[in-house]
Amino acid sequence: MTIHREGYTILSVSAIIMIALNAITFYTLGSSHWLFLSILVICIVLYLLFLQFFRYPKRDLTLGSNLVVAPADGKVVVIEEVYEGEYFKDKRLQVSIFMSPINVHANWYPIAGLISYVAYHKGKYLVAWHPKASTENERSTIVIQKDDGREILLRQIAGALAKRIVYYPHQNDKIRQCGEMGFIKFGSRVDLYFPLGTKITAQIGQKTTGGVTVIAEM
C-alpha cells in the first residue's frame, strides 16, 4: 500500500498543523489535561482517515481489448438509457459508480485508446447520487475512442464533500487501459456513457474495484 501523490501536500500540511496544535496545548496545559488529550485523539483519528482516503493499493489489473474495466472503486447505482447532451447529443447507456469517502478515490482508464475530448466544468456540490449531479456539479468529461472508432464518455463528478477533481489526460493523448486517469477528493461519482446495444455486465448494487472489475464488453 502506498499513498497517492495527490495526498502528499494535504498530508504534509495537516501533519504540520496538527503537530503545532498539539505542541501548543501540551506546553500550555500539560500532558494530563483533558483538552490536550482530546485534541490529540481527534488529530490522530483525522490523520488516519486522511491516510486511508489517499491510499493507492497495488492491484492485479484486468486487461482485454473487448473489456471495459471499472474506472473507480464504489457501487453501481445507475444503469439506464439516457440522453447525453454535452458530447454525443443522443441516447446512450449510462452506468454510474458511487464512491463513498471510505473508497479508494483514484480513477483508472476503463479502455485503451485515443482521448478525443476533454472538458472541465465548474459547478455545484450536490450529493453525488442526486439526479442533477451529472449536469450541475463540478465535473470533468473525458471521451476515449477505441481503435475501431467507437467511443465511451466518462464523467468525474464531485460530491457534497468533494472540492476538487483532478484529471490527467489531454486531447489526442494515447492512453493505455487501466492507466491512471485522475483523482476525486472526498466523495464523488463516475458516470460512463456507452453506445446503445453495449453488453453491460455490471448490475445495480454491485461493488466495483477500479482497474479490476469488468463492467461491460464492447
pLDDT of residue 131: 58
User: So what's the pLDDT on residue 92?
Assistant: 97
Dihedral angle sign, alpha carbons of residues 147, 148, 149, 153: negative
Q: What CATH number has the domain bearing residue 166?
A: 2.70.70.10
Evaluate whether 115 touches 147 at the Cβ level (below 8 Å). Answer: no
pTM: 0.82
Q: What are phi and psi of 74, to 5 degrees?
A: 155, -150
Q: Are 44 and 77 in contact (CB under 8 A)?
A: no
Element (H, E) at 55: strand 55-56
Give CA 218 to chain center in angstroms: 23
Active site residue 116: no
Query: Quick one: 86 and 33 in the same domain?
Result: no
Asked, for residue 62, whether it belongs to a domain, the answer is no
Q: Which of 30, 56, 82 is the last residue of a domain?
A: 56
The reported pLDDT for the residue numbered 8 is: 87
Cell, residue 148: 475501431
Q: Are residues 9 and 94 in the same domain?
A: no
Query: For residue 32, what are the domain limits?
Result: 2-56
The verdict on residue 51 lying in a domain is: yes
Q: How far is CA 34 from CA 18, 24, 43, 45, in A?
A: 17, 14, 14, 17
Structural domain count of the chain: 2
Q: What is the structure's pLDDT at 127?
A: 59
8 Å CB contact between 179 and 108? yes
Q: Round to whole Å and give the CA distance between 135 and 180.
A: 24
Higher pLDDT, 6 or 78: 78
Q: Same domain for 82 and 187?
A: yes
Active-site hit among 96, 134, 140, 188: 188
